[in-house]
C-alpha cells in the first residue's frame, strides 16, 4: 500500500502540541482555535495508523511512537523552512554541483590553489573533479557529463562549439635527462635541441599544441624524431628520466621534480623567433553555463 502524502501543516501542528502538551496553548501558538487542532491531530494519527498522544481530561502525553517521531518531524519542518533560502542560493550559484575536467598540467599549480580557495568561499557547491585529456574533455563536454574543463592548448586555440576563458599563458621549456650531453651546456640553443629525439603526447590529446611543436621543427627544416608517445605529462617526464629523449613541457611542469630530470630554457638568442608557448583555458559548451559555473567563472576572472 502506498503511503499518503502528509502536509507540512500537520507536522507543524504535531510539533506544537508535542512541545506544549496542551491543546489550548498549542492552538494559541498556531493562531487557530482548539477544535480544528484536535481534528488535525486525529487526522494525522489516522493517516499514520498509530496514536501519537494519550489524552485524558487532565493531561496530554506523547506515546512512545509520538516521542520517537518528534526529532524526525523537526528535521522535516526545518528542511522545508530552509528551502526558499536554498533555492535563492542555488540560483546565485552558491549551492549545487559543479563538474570540472582538467588536464594533468593544471594540477601542478593552478587547480589546487583555485579549488581550495573556491571551496572555502562556496562550501555548499559540490565540486567534482575529473582528470581527462583534451580529446576526452571534448567528448565529456559534448555529452554534458561535465560542466567545464581546464584545457591545455597553443595560443589562439578556438574550439568549435565551445566558449573559453584564458587562464594562463606560459612558455614551453625543455625537460632533459640529467646526464644528457645538453643538460649542462651553458647556453642551450634551439638547433641543438631540435637534433635530439623527443617524447611527446599523441596529437589527438592537444592537436593545436602538438602542431605548434612540430611546426617549430619544420620551420628549421627538420622532422621530429619521436622516440615515444605518452598521454600524461608526468609519464612524459618519467620517460625523459629513463633517457628515451627530451620533451617540450609547460614551464609549470618544473614543479614536478622528478629525479633524473632537469628543465632548461632555450638560450636568449633563440627567444622571440617562433618558440612555441602554451595556454590553459577554461572551456564550456556554448550557452551551457549554469549558476554554479557562472559563479566559478566570476571567481576565476577575479584578479
Query: Structural domain boundaries of the chain?
Result: 8-91, 96-163+280-300, 168-278
**How confident is the model over 140-172, as pLDDT tens digits?**
999 999 999 999 999 988 788 899 999 999 999
**How confident is the model over 36-85, as pLDDT tens digits?**
999 999 999 999 999 999 998 889 999 999 999 999 999 999 988 878 87
In the structure, what pLDDT confidence band is assigned to residue 3 with cuts at 50, 70 and 90? low
92-96, 119-123, 260-264, 275-279, range with the lowest pLDDT: 92-96
Question: Model-level pTM?
Answer: 0.71
Domain 8-91 and domain 168-278, same fold? Reply is: no
The domain 8-91 is placed in CATH, from the list 2.60.120.260, 3.40.50.720, 1.10.10.10, 3.30.160.620, at: 1.10.10.10
Packing angle, helices 8-20 and 64-91, rounded to 10: 130
Which CATH number does 96-163+280-300 carry? Answer: 3.40.190.10
- Give the Cα separation of 195 and 175 in Å (integer): 14
Q: Look at domain 168-278 and name its CATH class.
A: alpha beta
264 contacts 183 by C-beta, under 8 angstroms? yes
Residue 226 gets the label, from left (phi > 0), alpha (psi -120 to 50) or beta, of beta
Q: Looking at the chain, how many residues does it have?
A: 303
Determine whether 5 is exposed, middle or buried from the number of CB atoms within 10 Å of its CB (0-12, 13-18, 19+).
Answer: exposed
Amino acid at each position: 500500500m502506498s503511503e499518503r502524502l502528509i502536509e507540512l501543516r500537520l507536522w507543524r501542528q504535531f510539533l506544537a502540541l508535542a512541545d506544549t502538551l496542551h491543546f489550548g496553548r498549542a492552538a494559541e501558538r498556531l493562531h487557530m482555535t482548539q477544535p480544528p487542532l484536535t481534528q488535525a491531530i486525529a487526522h494525522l494519527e489516522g493517516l499514520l495508523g498509530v496514536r501519537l498522544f494519550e489524552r485524558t481530561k487532565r493531561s496530554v502525553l506523547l506515546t512512545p511512537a509520538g516521542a520517537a517521531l518528534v526529532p524526525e518531524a523537526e528535521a522535516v519542518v526545518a528542511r522545508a523552512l530552509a528551502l526558499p533560502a536554498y533555492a535563492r542560493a542555488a540560483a546565485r550559484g552558491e549551492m549545487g554541483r559543479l563538474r570540472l575536467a582538467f588536464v594533468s598540467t593544471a594540477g601542478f599549480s593552478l587547480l589546487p590553489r583555485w579549488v581550495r580557495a573556491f571551496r572555502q568561499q562556496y562550501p555548499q557547491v559540490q565540486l567534482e573533479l575529473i582528470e581527462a585529456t583534451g580529446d576526452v574533455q571534448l567528448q565529456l563536454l559534448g555529452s554534458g557529463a561535465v560542466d567545464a574543463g581546464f584545457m591545455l592548448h597553443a595560443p589562439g586555440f578556438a574550439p568549435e562549439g565551445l566558449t573559453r576563458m584564458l587562464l594562463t599563458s606560459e612558455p614551453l621549456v625543455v625537460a632533459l635527462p640529467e646526464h644528457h650531453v645538453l643538460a649542462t651546456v651553458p647556453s642551450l640553443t634551439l638547433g641543438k635541441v631540435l637534433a635530439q629525439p623527443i617524447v611527446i603526447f599523441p596529437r589527438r590529446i592537444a592537436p593545436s599544441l602538438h602542431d605548434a611543436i612540430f611546426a617549430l621543427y619544420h620551420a628549421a627544416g627538420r622532422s621530429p624524431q619521436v622516440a615515444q608517445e605518452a598521454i600524461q605529462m608526468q609519464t612524459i617526464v618519467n620517460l625523459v628520466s629513463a633517457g628515451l629523449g627530451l620533451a617540450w613541457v609547460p614551464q609549470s611542469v618544473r614543479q614536478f621534480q622528478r629525479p633524473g630530470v632537469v628543465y632548461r630554457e632555450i638560450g636568449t638568442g633563440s627567444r622571440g623567433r617562433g618558440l612555441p608557448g602554451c595556454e590553459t583555458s577554461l572551456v564550456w559548451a556554448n550557452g551551457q553555463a549554469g549558476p554554479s559555473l557562472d559563479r566559478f567563472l566570476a571567481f576565476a576572472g577575479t584578479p
